[in-house]
Amino acid sequence: MAIEYRWAEGRTERFSDIADEFVRIKADVIVTQGTATVIAAKQATSVIPIVFASAGDPVATGLVASLSRPGGNVTGLSSQGGDTVGKRFELLREIVPDLQRLAILGNIGNSFTAMEMNEVETAARTLGLDIAIGEIRRAEDIAPAFEAFKSRANALYVATDPVTLTRRTQIHTLALVARLPATAAFREFVEAGFLLSYGANIPNQFRQAADYVDKILHGAKAGDIPVEQPTKFDLVINLTTAKALGITVPTSVIARADDLIE
């Protein structure tokens, strides 16, 4: 089996070119991760099977017709990103009990990210928190967004997408300078210095995606294979960052963590 890898380096405008290239080389299956990449692949082909290893809410964003019967040429694994928004927010408030002003950073060019940001904003306003929104579309927008909200917040919620994931170290550095404890969905952010993450275990989902590819290569139609929901969620906390920010993480939260970075 020959595997062709392409990386957009966090530049969403490259997704369409990469998808078109896979169509030209007549790939037997296209494997993607993230809502925006699936959309680009769907626009490039309605014939080649597409397997997403992770997508935030594939039904709400129109990637598939339903979880049980995806239809078309697309299937994969949902990360249930929308369902974990409340849990991340709850954990952040446990660790930062005096949270009054929340900054939200995300790429509004990504349909799922825009949904996630709206959910966080709604939950925060329900609790009477002040909100500062940092809307970005590309990596160059990150630093200006921080300048706009860093003095108006005492915690940061980062919505995950290729732009924020590839620039997670930069975001952590800016957050640390601004004294903002930050949270996101995946452990890669915490490994880069974020305070905490809670979300589906993405490496596990990629391993499961291999089963989908195997079924398709043996004759199954992508649209007939149900989309699976995650079975493993990880809570990861960076105690080094907590110490640097002068934050004491409650023992009750530490006890629930799947991994601690010290």
pTM of structure: 0.84
When pLDDT is cut at 50, 70 and 90, the band that residue 246 belongs to is: very high
**Across all residues in the chain, what is the average pLDDT?**
92
pLDDT of the residue at 3: 95
Can you give the pLDDT at residue 225?
97
pLDDT in tens, 34-67: 888 999 999 999 999 999 998 878 898 899 999 9
Domains identified in the chain and CATH numbers: 12-80+201-231 (3.40.50.2300), 81-200+234-261 (3.40.50.2300)
The answer, yes or no, to whether residue 202 has pLDDT greater than 90, is no
Q: What is the mean pLDDT of residues 215-220?
A: 97
SS3 at position 171: helix
What are the tens digits of pLDDT across the range 1-22? 899 999 888 788 899 999 999 9
State pLDDT tens for residues 87-146. Answer: 888 899 999 999 999 999 999 988 888 888 998 998 888 888 999 999 999 999 999 999
- Asked whether residue 198 carries a pLDDT value surpassing 70, the answer given is yes
Contact, 19 vs 44, CB < 8 A? yes
The more confident residue out of 29 and 87 is: 29
Helix axes 35-44, 111-126, angle to 10 degrees: 150
**Which pLDDT band, with edges at 50, 70 and 90, does 255 fall under?**
very high
Convert 84-123 to b/e letters by CB count within 10 Å (16 or more is b): bbeebbebbbebbeebebbbbbbbbbbbbbbbbbbbbbeb
- The Cα 33–Cα 56 span in angstroms is 10
- Residue 112's pLDDT is 83
The answer on pLDDT for 81 being more than 70 is no
For the chain, give the percent of residues with pLDDT over 70.
99
Confidence of residue 83 (pLDDT cuts 50, 70, 90): confident
Phi, psi of 173 (to 5 degrees): -60, -45
